[in-house]
Structure 1
């Protein structure tokens, strides 16, 4: 019996994964994870490995938020405001990727891996900025839906 329960729950996680990746937010987070992995590989194979920290942190944070949103844990653990946390994560990721990528592209003369990581980092910075914009629109729409109209005549 225990084997049947495990197989059912793993199929459920697999179905959730496939379903969530098909959503806009799921595809953005999955792309952020893949791009961060590519950037991590490029930076690790360059002469200057110090830039790997940004890619590692952003990849881990994207994986955490992917898991939280995929499993609907944001609805169960309401102590954390997941939408604002995701906004801060994406905004910081965009800034860090753009800054470090510009440094790598400018500094990377003779180091092809560093330049490649910088170019992928610029793409990731734009993706993280787009993610920030979509989260901002989501926060803005949720605020307008929950706003209570005030009647000054009362």
Structure 2
């Protein structure tokens, strides 16, 4: 007979999801996933659906990093520097969202869904830039704590 007091793996995962979703990084990644999904819907409704590739890629990357950080796999898989990888993901996402959104807003006359996707893309660019700034502050604080002394005198 199974032990009724033991927590199931699904309940453990749900608890990790709830607790990580309340952290600052969890809220930012959740907002990135949500706004990317909204942008995908807007671009899918427009006449030019090709702009949705950026939103799809960034949503998938945000979901992967949400899962990695939620399950604390970044502390188990030490081959990858997760902080720097997340910094590059957020920085490139901010840059790509701003570029494609400006193209859509400027050239989207007559296509309301494309303009809406561009406006949401600009908001996403700001959100990804904020995420980049927060990660940069973390990188900066970890580099100050681990810096080796260059003083020859002991």
TM-score normalised by length of structure 2 = 0.94
Q: Which residue of 2 aligns with 1:106?
A: 106
Aligned counterparts of 1:109 and 1:75: Cα–Cα separation in 2: 48
Q: Which residue of 2 aligns with 1:148?
A: 148
The aligned counterpart of 2:88 is 88
Q: How far apart in 2 are the matches of 1:19 and 1:84?
A: 24
Structure 1 unaligned runs (5+)?
none
C-alpha separation between the residues in 1 aligned to 2:134 and 2:94? 13
Q: Which has the higher helix share?
A: 1
CA gap 1:84/1:15 in 2 versus in 1, 3 angstroms: same
Paired residue secondary structure (1:33): helix
**Aligned equivalent of 1:42:** 42
After superposition, give the CA deviation of every residue in 1:48-70 in whole Å (9 maximum; x if it has no partner).
Answer: 00101000000000000000000
Take 1:18 and 1:105, find their aligned partners in 2: how far apart are those partners?
Answer: 36
The CA distance in 1 between the partners of 2:64 and 2:5, in whole Å, is 25
Residues in 1 aligned to 2:103 and 2:54: alpha-carbon distance in whole angstroms: 13
Aligned length: 154
Instruction: Provide the alpha-carbon RMSD of the alignment.
Output: 1.7
Cα shift at 1:4: 6.2
Which segments of structure 1 move beyond 2 Å, counting only runs of 4 or more?
1-7, 148-154
User: 1:153 deviation in Å?
Assistant: 2.2
Task: Return the alpha-carbon distance in structure 2 between the equivalents of residues 115 and 4 of structure 1.
Answer: 54
Judged with a 3 Å threshold, the aligned counterparts in structure 2 of structure 1 residues 153 and 69 are, in CA distance, closer, same or farther, namely same
